[in-house]
């Protein structure tokens, strides 16, 4: 398992620190102004994306075994609670990507995606390795990181990119600057 656990311990620690900081941001979203929340989220997500995009793939046999026994640790209720907080903080205009064309095409029409939903999808996937780390820093963490890398390849990479595009747009928009009043 050296591809995940022994590659570069400093990079792994930095990645897990970014994950922890991002999860704390989501969990305490109501304590931030919208501008500060956007700036912080925008700061964490590129580093998380960079680390995950460079993780080597896990051999299929091992991954299939781990996926069959995988249970999401963070509950739907927890996700819903934090998503509501993030949605309230962002406001409807920012949360629905009204100024940036990101979403799902249905019946030939773009259906807007909620930024809060993407941010919480990322939160849920990143929070699991942190909770696992509290229990077991060995094989269980390696398995969880491999599943996280699989989630990144399957759908979370797209969620990260979409969230970063919207945050980038709004971080640099004049409307956001006017509303934050340093």
Query: Tell me, which fold does domain 2-178 have in CATH?
Result: 1.20.120
- For residue 168, what are its two tokens? 């980038």
Residue 77 has a pLDDT of 95
Domain boundaries, the chain: 2-178
| 111, β-bridge pairs | 104
The tens digit of pLDDT for each residue in 34-52 reads 989 999 999 999 999 999 9
**Region 119-131: what's the mean pLDDT?**
88
What contacts 46, CB < 8 A, 6 or more positions away?
Answer: 164
Give the span between the Cα atoms of 129 and 2, in whole angstroms.
17
**Region 120-133: what's the mean pLDDT?**
86
For the full predicted model, state whether its pTM sits above 0.85.
Answer: no
pLDDT at 90 over 80: yes
Give the span between the Cα atoms of 94 and 83, in whole angstroms.
14
Portion of the chain with pLDDT greater than 70, in percent: 80
Higher pLDDT, 151 or 111: 151
DSSP state of 173: -
Give the residue ranges of DSSP H helices in the chain.
2-5, 9-27, 34-54, 60-68, 76-95, 115-135, 139-151, 157-171, 174-180
Q: Kindly provide the b/e burial profile for residues 118-133, where b requires at least 16 CB atoms within 10 angstroms of the residue's own CB.
A: bbbbbbbbbbbbbebb
């Amino acid at each position: 398992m050296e591809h995940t656990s022994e590659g570069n311990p400093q990079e792994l620690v930095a990645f897990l620190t970014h994950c922890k900081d991002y999860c704390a941001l989501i969990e305490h979203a109501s304590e931030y102004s919208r501008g500060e929340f956007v700036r912080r989220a925008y700061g964490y997500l590129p580093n998380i994306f960079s680390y995950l995009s460079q993780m080597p793939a896990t051999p299929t046999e091992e991954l299939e075994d781990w996926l069959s026994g995988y249970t999401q640790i963070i509950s739907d209720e927890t996700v819903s609670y934090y998503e509501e907080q993030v949605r309230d903080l962002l406001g409807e205009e920012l949360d629905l990507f009204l100024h940036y064309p990101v979403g799902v095409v249905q019946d030939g029409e773009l259906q807007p995606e909620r930024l809060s939903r993407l941010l919480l999808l990322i939160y849920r996937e990143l929070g699991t390795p942190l909770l696992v780390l509290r229990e077991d820093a060995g094989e269980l963490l390696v398995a969880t990181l491999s599943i996280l890398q699989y989630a990144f390849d399957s759908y979370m990479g797209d969620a990260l990119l979409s969230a970063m595009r919207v945050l980038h747009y709004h971080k640099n928009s004049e409307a956001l600057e006017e509303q934050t009043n340093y």
